[in-house]
Amino acid sequence: MLRALVLSLLILCTVAATLPLADSLAKGPKSAAASHHRRHRRHSRAWWRKHRRLLRRRRAAAAARHARLQSPTTQDRPATVAPANPAATAAEAHALLTPALPTLALPNLSAQPALANLPMLAVKDVAAPAPPALPAPAPPRKAVAPAWPSAWHNLPVNASGELRFSVRSADGRNTGAVAWARVAAPQVAASASAQARAKTLGGVLLSDLRRKVIDKMLAEGGWVVNDMERTLGGRRTFVVVAESANADGAHVAWVFYFTEFNGQVYGLMTNTRADQAPALAADAEQFVAALNERTNDAMTASRSQR
């Protein structure tokens, strides 16, 4: 029994001792190949490129060193020639390159004829004709205002420079008033757009003209009824209609005519009782139409003179 137990233990120990050896023998060739493969792949591609570049440099340096060793020594080289004198070299080059020229014969100035014997050229000074004088541009022709209607009678000029008239009927009664004055208002800049200049009269904005009428009517205790653009005598005319009430409570009709005359904007103001308004408006429109026609004639004459 004891003998069988000892044999079993010996066999067990033998098997236990041979198992690691068998395992290492079984994995030996594969692990060796793996380790050998890992040894060749442990460097990156960049490292190999750098290594090959270094080898090429070493081979090039060795080839250059070998070429220097194979070249002749200083004893075998011919002796250097001493540099020549620069001045002598330049003189020799000048003598070789410059051809032999004959001696120049200088002229004998004393043997030449005197200047008095030379023929004289007659030169006649002729004055250049003066350039033709250009006529001065004619100034723009001024238009003359037409005669005032017979029913309008002059009044003394007030402090603001207005021409004032009193309107009288056939029986001599005073039926209304008329005033003629130049409008003092800023003009639109020349660089303004075409749309902005279309809303002007003689360079003055229509809104500025309307504002002047509103200020006038506020001072008179009246109000603006309407404004419009009309063509009188072939030219644009800005018309503003207003109303007010007199001391008796009767309605007073106001009409303002703005037109361009001799490059300036003028205003014709009329006011009368409502029943006399049509007759006064007819006289005022006839006067403004005649004024615009004369302005057109003056502009046409100025263009023809140019």
What are the domain boundaries of the chain?
152-300
The pLDDT, as a whole number, for residue 214 is 94
Q: Which residue has the tokens 């493969």?
A: 37
- Write the single-letter amino acid at 171: D
Report the C-alpha gap between 306 and 295 in whole angstroms.
17
pLDDT value for 79? 53
In angstroms, the CA 208 to CA 240 distance is 12
* Terminal Cα distance for the chain, rounded: 157
CATH number (3.40.1000, 3.40.190, 3.90.320, 3.40.50) of 152-300 reads 3.40.1000
The owner of tokens 């005022």 is 284
Residue 78 near residue 72, CB atoms below 8 Å: no
Query: What pLDDT, on the 0 to 100 scale, is given for residue 213?
Result: 95
Report the amino acid identity of residue 175: T
Task: Note the pLDDT of residue 16.
Answer: 79
Note the pLDDT of residue 176.
92
Token reading at 109 = 């100035």
Residue ranges in the chain modelled with pLDDT below 70: 21-41, 72-128, 134-141, 305-306
